[in-house]
Every structure is written in C-alpha cells, then in structure tokens.
Structure 1
C-alpha cells in the first residue's frame, strides 16, 4: 500500500522552518494542480481518479496538499477493472492510503470490462469513465481530476498521426471537457512524467507499475517504449514538449473552426428540411466537413462509429455529384441528395 506522504523536509539553513521548500518535482505538480483548481466553478468536491500509478498518485498527493488551502473539498476514487490478479486488493490499498491522506469521500469503483465493444483498451476506458461520471454525480463533484501528463499527450499525438487522424485527433487530450455534464480535468498536461515519478519518490510514495503500460500488445505501450524514445534520440529531448505544444495549437484552431461550423450549420438548413447543397458547396472544405459531421450526429449516427469515410461520402453528394445513391451513416441512416438538398432517407419511391 502506498505510504502516507511524509511531513515536509526540514528547511535549509537561513530559511524559516515555517516555510520549507518542497522538492522541485513536488512543487511542479502542486503548482499545476493549484492553477487548475483556482477559480474552478462550483462548491462541490473535486474527485481524484487514482490508479496508484506514479502519475495519478503524484496528482492525488498534490491535491491533498493544495485543495484544503483553497477551501476545496477533495475526494478520491479508484477503479477496479478486474483485469489482473490482485486488482481488488490494489484498489483497496489505494483507498486505504487516500483515507489516511485526508480525502473524503473515498471509493473503490468496480467495473465490468468484458463484453464491451472495441478492443481491451477502449473497453476499459469506456467502463472507467462511466464509473467516474456516476461517482461524480453522486457526490455533486465540481470535477474529476485525471493524471495524464505531457508525455501521455505526446503519445496521443503520435498515435493520432499513425491513424491518419484529423485536427480533432491531433488536438490530443483537452485540459477540460465535459462528459455527460461532468467536467473531466487534466491539470498535469504540462508536467513531465519524470516529475510525477520524482514527486512520488520525494514524498516517500510507492507507486504501482501497471504491467499493461509495458505490454507490447498495446499500441500505446509500443509508442512509449520504442517510438517516442527513438524520436527523442533522433531529434532531441524537446520532442515531447513540442508534440504536446502542437496539440494545444491545433486544439485552439479546431475550436475556432468548430465555432464557425456551428454557425454555418444553421445557415445551410433548408426550409423543407435537410441541408442546402448550394449553401454547403459555398463553405470552405474544413468548415463543410465539420458541418456534415455535426449534422450526421444530429440525425442519430453514433459518434464512436462515425468516421472520416462517412463524412467523405456525404461530402461527395455535394462536391462530386454524379447521380449516385444515398450515403449510409452508422446506425442504418441513409442520406440522399434530392431537390437541391441533403435529406435523410433512401431513394424516393
């Protein structure tokens, strides 16, 4: 079980014992948490999602220090995915440490991963976030803190590049987003993974090493162990920070385009229903793609299944019209071109 954080180290000579200085890595993690929590709306607690690994454990220790000083209650939740032997015991150990560290509430959230769609990583992630959202609503939390670091962000960008993702994928993980009305907050996206490990060491915390993080069966583990280190060797240590910064820059551009697309979607709605082909054709490609994506979701296409090829098929009805039949969206939703409009439905009777 991770031990309780020790008292702050003794102050160096010449410094008041009332104002000891934490280790630099500890200070870096605390500062990141303080920046995010300062001014956070709502009076409810923040909940730290903690697996017991070095990133989330450093985040939890920093939150236990910072939140009370900001007058913010802090709880901790740990998810038991039941994917490895001893997972329940590890989750209880994390919960036990959290209680000694002053968190309230503290909960273990067991989830079922088997039988969910997608690969094992995606299924576990979906189950985890569902459990976190339910817990946050139960405790009227102001947000859930997640321990993703700058290194995680760089890995996410590389994986997105490998998949041929567009700006949404290359934007990486946002610092803040809402899932079913619950704010998910990532205060450590500018903190290096080496700092979270160093912070745990400085505080005497023993972190759990998840074997999935080094299992080459998982793409992210291969990126972490091989691809990103190879880039660092070839291009220098600034690669990690540069990839993370790229994600922030693209995220800002994507947000601006999304705003333009939201207004454009309203502008191209046709009086008889559907979207005006002429209005769509007049839009810049980047805006039109977003308009079509948003409209497909309005029609009921499941977001997780809606891909670039579906949007490209809709776009072809506008920009490459040759009298072709309907485009088919996930959820068994045909869309056809009729009387200068894109409308839901198959070929007319």
Structure 2
C-alpha cells in the first residue's frame, strides 16, 4: 500500500479528513470551520501547529481561535460591531464585552463541505468549501452570496494552502480575511522555547486604543521588534497582541521560526496579498504563538485611510480572489 493517503476518520472524536504523504501528515476538521488542526512530521516527531488535547476539545469548538489554522471573515475587531459597506452599515453582534467590539467574524465554526480528497504520486490533498446564501447563518450578518474554498495538500515540500473566494451574488462584497495560525514553539521534542528565534516581515507597528482599535498612528519599534524584522528574536520576549504593516522581503511575506538547537527553520510563507501581520503570544506564555496574516487593517471599514493601503478589498459580482500559502522546514 502506498504511504500517500487521504481518508475520512475522526480527530478527538470530531469528523476529519486525514492526509499522509511520506513523513508528513495533516488533519482537516470540515465541521469546525475547515480548520487544518494538525501538521506533523511523524518521522521526527515534530508537531508544527498548536493542537487541542482531548480535554480542550469542548473549549476549542466553542472558541476555535488558538488551535490549528482557523479562517476569520471578517477578521479581528470592528468598533461597536458596525461594518459600513457601500452606503449601508452592517450590524455585527458585540461579542467582546471588554472592548465593546465584534471579534473574528462568522465562518470559523461553520461546516465546510468536503468536495474532494485523494492522493497522487506527488501529494495528498483535500478540498473543502463553504457556500453562503440566504439559507446560511452567515448570511444574517454578511448578506452576500459567495463561496470560500480551501485546498490543503502535503507533499515532499511540506504543506500548501490554496484559499479561494468567489462572489456568487449580484453586488460587490467585502474581501477581508485572516488566518489565526497557531504555531508551536517548541515544535521539536527535547527543545525549549528559549532555543527559538522568530523572524517576521513586519514594517511599522500600529498604535492601538484601549479598545484595541488602530488610532491611525504608528508606534516606534522596540529593539526586540527590530530584531524580529532582522536576525530574529525569542518569541516570548514580552506579551504580544500587536498589529503591524506587512512589508515583503525578497518578494515574500513570511514568518521564519528557527530552532537554534536543532538547526531547523519552519517557514510560513503567507503570500503577499496580506497587508498586515497580527502577532499574539498568549501573554508571553511559552508553548505556542499566533503569527496571523491579515488582508486588512483592524476595523478597516471604519477608517478613512486609502483602501489599497489598508487592504480594504472588495469583490465585484463573478470575481474571484485567491492566495496561496506554504509551511515547510528548511
């Protein structure tokens, strides 16, 4: 039997599609927002993504933000739950009482339909889609007809994500997305978080109000943040809940996480469509952190900055937006 496989099974009791290719395996949870919950190197015992334990599964399903690769649409926070769009204001529930904002959108817990999965000589893959129309719960808050399609594949060169958005409706829709990607540090057995150095293609840091909304101004980068742009820094040097502009380096928008003890670097090449990086490290708690590629600035529809500058993208009827990302080890 070939070691390259794609099949339905369960993960911690949840319906899942498993992918196996050579030393790699990955797991997709279609009924929890199409979350790719695991990506592992089974030969070496590396677990790259932060996975929930069996005990954590109920909390994960209730708030699936800090495990795997959840989809956020629309991403991050919106002031008072208000989302101005094309002459009207959409009203989102205020689900973060501490700030009085809406947080993280409406698709992270939806059921994606598995459209295809399989294995070839070069990859094992799965395709899952969420179709939103008048019958969907999402439509109550985002009254547009559209399809989100995720294709994940593992092969010799690691994990590839292809994300496609299709406007199936008759009016222009917002195209604002993020991935709340949760990465283990350490991901190598026997290593310590102190052995890790983080690099991220950030530019400037946004100044945030007490409500965690951008004021429109920038803050000076600290020496550790400057190191994050260059030679790398310990990922838990302080509590991080920060937003930065994304500035591609050498044509790529990426995170690099190096295990200095093992001499390995995990690369998360997110694609240059993402204009912002969010980084959150769970109050500087070692174990995992979230480098989040985000198309748009937080609260983008409520700001007056140029749309292209802050990633306030739209899709006209029939238009398609697509981006690819890759996670691999070098």
TM-score norm. by structure 1 comes to 0.25
Q: Which has the larger radius of gyration?
A: 1
TM-score by length of 2: 0.26
Structure with the largest fraction of helix? 1
